[in-house]
Amino acid sequence: MVTCPRCGRENETRSSFCERCLHEFPSDGWDPRRLICPECRYDNPYGNDHCERCHEPLKPGQTE
């Protein structure tokens, strides 16, 4: 459940946009296009397997 800060709609799905007003939710650790490093909070571009700063794996479970 994600409550839209703009219109107040309670979105059932964990979407990155509000279902009603299409407001983009702030990235509080989850953004489909960005990968926040769990270790140092560095904002890595999507597609990185490891953090550019500290080289921590960004996709646990998908490592070889």
In the complex, the smallest distance separating the C-beta of residue 46 from Zn ion, rounded to whole angstroms, is 15
Is the Cβ of residue 31 or residue 56 nearer to Zn ion in the bound state? 56
- Residues that bind Zn ion in the complex, under the rule CB under 5 A: 4, 6-7, 9, 18, 20-21, 23, 37, 39-40, 42, 51, 53-54, 56
CA–CA dist 18, 15 (Å, integer): 7
Residue 26: which of 38, 17, 35 has the closest Cα?
Answer: 17
Q: Which residues contact 32 (CB under 8 A, 6 or more apart)?
A: 16, 46
In the complex, the smallest distance separating the C-beta of residue 47 from Zn ion, rounded to whole angstroms, is 15
